[in-house]
Amino acid sequence: MTPTTRYLIFALWVIVLASTPLWAGNYFVRMAITIAMFSALTLSWNLIGGFTGYPSLSTAAFFGLGCYVGALSQRAGVPMILAWVAATVFVAVLAAVFGAIILRLRGHYFAIGSIGLVEVLRLVTSSWGSLTGGGDGLNVPLVQGGPNVVAQTFLAAMVTIMVIVFVVTVLVDRGRLGFGLRCIQQNEDAADMVGVDTTRYKVIAYTLSAMFCGTVGAAYASWTGYIDPTDTFSILMTIKVPVMCLLGGAGTVLGPVVGTGVYMILEEILWANFLDYNRAILGAVTVLLILFLPGGLLRISYKTVLAQLAARFNRLGAAA
Amino acid sequence: MSDKILELDQVSKNFGGNHAVSAVSFALKEGEIVGLIGPNGAGKTTLVNVITGVQRASAGRIHFDGLDVTDQRPFQAARRGLARTFQIVQPFPAMTVLENVAAGALFGGAQASRAEATAAARTHLEFVGLAAFADRPASALTLSGRKRLELAKSLAMKPKLLMLDEVNAGLNTSEIDGALTLIRKIADRGVTILVIEHLMKVVMSLAQRLLVLHHGQLIADGVPREIVDDPRVIEAYLGGKFAKRVKEMQHG
């Protein structure tokens, strides 16, 4: 796939998501918002988990932190968009500090360290009642207007964030940073020996991957109007985002977007049709996909698959 | 003083109570080819690791090109022109051969852009004879190909000093001859080379000077012919039989 094809596919997808209010009901608009939101999270994760090969499980930590920074800023009277920017900056700074500490760990150790951040922040948020409202959660000032206006506002916001993260991904992928990150992913010691400042590169990648989770979190808080610790620092989210990315193809530019789309649509279909077993089925599908498609959907050579199918079909025809 | 590119002053490295390198001092002159030999476990690779900052020296100072580099990190060593190849080759396996070399050019050789780095990488691949494999993944190369790739990668970093850690281990005789020609060609460019080897044939034919390491201590430093006559070296490393054979070869 040439870069131009990739960008065209992405542009088409953006148009499909952004135009849902024109051709579909509120259910689909809501789904488009969620897809755009998760795409932004997955693209973010891809920078550290895909390009750099560090299996971070801290997405929900930065998302939740963004929720609270955004919500508290808005409650203090800061305008909505500025509150989102504040959340982005705050999360970026925290991620840089935290990254400098835990990026010394590798592999599974790093994964466990990064998931620790989610739990610690959830506990701090639950316990620090005077600031965060604790388990009662926080109300966020609602956007004025009818349900359609609100939906369209947040659709525009989430799609914009998704596009920004995509552009960042493309720039990283084509530049010096992306090349260095790929070297680290392939062989960190060798990367160090050819002159890549591995610590700095990893911290930059981790910070980039965290900051937009903060933006998404703040936007989510404004959208739903209410946040609480278990909803925002959710272990399920921290696992789901890497799974979506792996499904599409970690380390590719388009993979996170494809993976998120396929996963969310699959989840929605299963949810609607198998109310009791949808989680189990989704789990089984996920395990099978990762076992048999370790490189993700984008790494399949569709030409080979079609050729094999055609050959099998011909053999069947000849036998009959 | 100024023609010394690398100078070690009483450098030691301990792992707990194990003295892997103890109080080693030597200097390399610019443009020299020096062999570093010693039996297995003598501390050769540890010494290279300490020089390149992979491991920090427990004591002593290291000067490179007039700069105290004792506490440098590996990426800084690479940027300062201190390149090394690994005993166990370390490619970026899923990248192409060309990208591997371009990584060296971009980060270690301070090329301004990826396009320039790629262009530089092509000339280095031609130099080591891997141009035909440029677009193949590095994992598809044979062992001798991977060693050449390591060389090309190091050259792309524009080194002043190149340390070759067992670059000939695992190669057959004709491949070794090819590698020796290549190393001489690199030396002709004015790069100082430290060859870490246990193949006597390689160091004897390449090096102008030999350093012998045994139990982490530098036990000899001199021209190859004197080294093989040195009783301590014979005792520690060569074994009497081999030393005698070398002597016969030289006199007869």
DSSP string, B143-188: HHHHHHHHHHHHHHT--SEEEEESTTTT--HHHHHHHHHHHHHHHH
Q: Which of B54, B86, B92 sits opposite A186 (nearest CB)?
A: B92
pLDDT in the model for residue B144:
87
pLDDT higher than 50, residue B56: yes
DSSP symbol at A251: T
For A174, which residue in chain B has the nearest alpha carbon? B114
Reported ipTM: the value is 0.85
pLDDT band at A220 (very low <50, low <70, confident <90, very high): very high
B20: phi then psi, degrees, rounded to nearest 5: -70, -40
For B49, which residue in chain A has the nearest alpha carbon? A193
Instruction: Report the alpha-carbon distance of residue A89 to residue A212 in Å, rounded.
Output: 9
pLDDT in the model for residue A34:
96
Q: Which of A179, A189, A192 sits opposite B106 (nearest CB)?
A: A179
Q: Is A187 in Cβ contact with B92 (below 8 Å)?
A: yes
Q: Please state the domain extents for chain A.
A: 3-319
pLDDT in the model for residue A143:
86
The stretch B25-41 carries a mean pLDDT of: 90
Per-residue model confidence as pLDDT tens digits over A82-119 = 999 999 999 999 999 999 999 999 888 999 999 999 99
Q: Is B153 in Cβ contact with A194 (below 8 Å)?
A: yes
Q: Is B78 in Cβ contact with A195 (below 8 Å)?
A: yes
Return all residues near B246 (Cβ < 8 A) that are at least 6 apart: B200, B204, B228, B238
Q: Which of A174, A179, A197 sits opposite B103 (nearest CB)?
A: A179
Contacts of A194 in chain B (CB under 8 A): 75, 78, 103-104, 107-108, 153, 157
pLDDT higher than 70, residue B195: yes
Q: Is B92 in Cβ contact with A190 (below 8 Å)?
A: yes
Contacts of A175 in chain B (CB under 8 A): 114
Q: Is B73 in Cβ contact with A196 (below 8 Å)?
A: no
With an 8 Å Cβ cutoff, is B73 touching chain A? Answer: yes
Mean pLDDT rounded to a whole number for chain A: 92
B1-81+164-252: CATH topology: Rossmann fold (3.40.50)
pLDDT higher than 80, residue A305: no
pLDDT band at B225 (very low <50, low <70, confident <90, very high): confident
Q: Which of B84, B90, B104 sits opposite A187 (nearest CB)?
A: B90
For B86, which residue in chain A has the nearest alpha carbon? A190
Q: Which of B86, B94, B114 sits opposite A186 (nearest CB)?
A: B94
The beta strands (E) that lie in chain B are given as 4-15, 18-29, 33-37, 59-64, 67-68, 82-85, 161-165, 192-196, 209-214, 217-222
> For residue B128, what are its two tokens?
């080591």
Sign of CA dihedral A121, A123, A126, A128: negative
Return all residues near B221 (Cβ < 8 A) that are at least 6 apart: B26, B209, B210, B211, B212
Q: Are A123 and A230 in contact (CB under 8 A)?
A: no
pLDDT in the model for residue A282:
79
Alpha helices in chain A (DSSP H): 3-18, 20-23, 26-45, 59-75, 80-102, 107-127, 129-132, 147-174, 176-186, 188-193, 198-224, 229-232, 235-248, 255-273, 278-292, 302-319
Which has more pLDDT, B193 or B175? B193
**Residue tagged 């010691």 (tokens):** A189
Q: Please state the domain extents for chain B.
A: 1-81+164-252, 91-158
For A195, which residue in chain B has the nearest alpha carbon? B75
With an 8 Å Cβ cutoff, is A7 touching chain B? Answer: no
A3-319: CATH topology: ABC transporter involved in vitamin B12 uptake, BtuC (1.10.3470)
Question: Bridge partners of A226?
Answer: A139
Q: How far is A107 from chain B (nearest CA, A)?
A: 17
**Residue tagged 């504040």 (tokens):** A86
pLDDT higher than 80, residue B72: yes
CA B10 to chain centre: 20
**Residue tagged 């003083």 (tokens):** B1
Q: Among A8-12, A167-171, A296-300, B155-159, which stretch is predicted with the lowest mean pLDDT?
A: A296-300
Q: Is A187 in Cβ contact with B91 (below 8 Å)?
A: yes
